[in-house]
Chain A
Amino acid sequence: MSAPRNVEELEIVGYANVLDRSVLPSIVPPVFRLKADTSRAFLPPYSFNAGYLCNATEVAGPELDQLLDSEEITLFEGVLPARNGFELWVDQSYECHYQPFDEVRQQLGRIAREAIEQAAAALREGDLPRAERLAGVAISADDRRVEPLAIKAAIRRTQGTTQGERLMAELAAPVLEEGLFGRLVDQYCASQPRSTPAALPVGSRRPMHGMATLKAA
């Protein structure tokens, strides 16, 4: 553990993660280094207290290259001056943003809202892959929202994957009671276009199929 460091003495050289597109946007923990001695870098886990970076793991510059090579960190081409009360996040096109905490929450909240609306629209149009991708964006942007879980549950129900639907209900359970979640899923399912039932193969037709509709001779 390194001694506490004033955030103003630090700059950001990257972040301690390598992100897959499926989990963007995402808040990421910065990799810091000392402005005055660029050979000293600081990695998570760490905490912030009154403008100080505390309990970080200090590594030497060459170790960053090893971590990059083992795909544990992502390094920028340039550097960003570190600021107290700021957070680093990566958007859906892998672009990095460093903004005050409240602004980040607002931005991510907006992305989540828009993605939920678009996912619901895609669901109404029967475009399940697009609905699933957008629900993923919404979950990544704001994991407190329950609608994207319900959209994914509706997709799983449509696909006939009961386990997948149940898993989404479990994930939503801390936020929404099971019955209410089920009703939300019902609504999303009902919003989907009704598909024409596919014709059964001849061999699988039930023997009594259509008999009741035949007129008596």
Chain B
Amino acid sequence: MNRLHRETNLDDLCRRLEDYSRANLLAVPAQMSKMAKRLSESLYLAHSTTEARFGTICGSGCLTSADLQAAHRGKPLSPTRTEVVMGTSDSVFFYVAPFRYPNTGCGFLFSATLESEYTDRSVATPFDSGGLVNRLTRPDPTEPVREFLARHELPVPEHRSYLGLSMDVLFDKPEDYMKGTDPGWPGPVGLTGGDQRRWTHEVRIPYRVFLRGRHLQAVFAPRAWVAADSRIEALFEWCAGEDVERIVFDTPTSNDFAALSRECLAYIRRTLY
């Protein structure tokens, strides 16, 4: 799908949001609120992962697509794997939000400027595309899942204008999107089920994204992993020299994801509010 098609999708989605607000008597502000504008324009691109894979990523210096990982292992991807089913196995995935992929303990935040480097080749959706396979229910279950996805693929970085609009119209307040509080109104996409990822914007960038570049904003990892794994240690040393924020934290209850989420939210509040 080309960029023009994605622009048409964005126009269509904005129109559907206007219709939705009219039908539900929701106020659409003439101008985006300051908070919605700031958050939607500057929210980071978040990629979190398991500790074992985090070490490999730090060692290789880049995030890679499932296709490239499979080629590296010399083993094809299973046809039932979510990315294969969705046709997205050539992509690296990010949420435009705090870390929301459960069961992960380490992560990277990239600044929003990363999107401007991939305007032609990357794609955004106003939900987690992988959720369409098992967790989310589409308004018309007979519509093939890939068609539903294609209808909602939006241009990058312009998808952020829809994000800002929906923060003002659908959520009680824009911070709710960031905190992970469900919107008061589900909105025009019509998905049900699942969790916050049902309405979290996703950005997919093809093949690989290098860590050691000007877009890396912050790296998060449990203290013990930074000290124990020399590949993680080396990335943290590089970050120190480049003024990339390094967030280390303890995981006393061994619930790494809870600690990771808490640290990420605190960092976003500190830097974007």
Residues of A within 8 A of B (CB): 1, 16-20, 22-23, 27-29, 43-45, 47, 57, 59-60, 62-63, 65-66, 69-73, 87, 132, 136, 139-140, 143, 148-149, 152, 161, 163-164, 166-168, 170-171, 174
Contact = CB atoms under 8 A, between A and B. Distances in A.
B100 to A, nearest CB: 11
B250 interface: yes
Contact of A22 (B103, B229, B248): B229
B52 A20 contact: yes
A18 B103 CA distance: 11
Interface residues of B, number: 36
Interface in B173-196: 195
A136 B228 contact: yes
B227 interface: yes
Contacts of A45: 102-103, 255, 257-258
Interface of B: 50-53, 55-56, 66, 77-78, 80-82, 102-103, 134, 195, 222-230, 233, 236-237, 240-241, 248, 250, 254-255, 257-258
B189 to A, nearest CB: 21
Contacts of B225: 23
B240 A139 contact: no
Given A16-B103, A45-B255, A69-B81, A171 B226 contact: yes
Contacts of A20: 51-52, 55-56, 229
Contacts of B222: 143
Given A18-B52, A45-B103, A66 B230 contact: no
B229 A23 contact: yes
A69 B78 contact: yes
Given A60-B134, A132-B230, 7 more contacts: A22-B229, A45-B255, A62-B80, A136-B228, A140-B228, A143-B222, A171-B226
B273 to A, nearest CB: 25
B255 A164 contact: no
Complex A-B, nearest 5 residue pairs according to Cβ-Cβ distance, in ascending order? A143-B224, A136-B228, A163-B237, A45-B257, A139-B228
Nearest to B253: A47
Nearest to A132: B230
18 contacts: A20-B52, A22-B228, A23-B55, A23-B224, A23-B229, A29-B103, A29-B255, A45-B102, A57-B103, A69-B80, A71-B53, A132-B230, A136-B229, A152-B227, A163-B241, A166-B240, A171-B223, A174-B250
Scoring B66, B222, B227, B240 by chain A CB atoms within 10 A of each residue's CB, the highest score goes to: B227
B226 A19 contact: no
A23 B51 contact: yes
A60 B80 CA distance: 14
Contact of A66 (B80, B226, B229, B241): B80
A164 B237 contact: yes
A149 B226 CA distance: 10
Nearest to A59: B134
Contacts of B233: 164, 167
A18 B258 contact: no
B226 A167 contact: yes
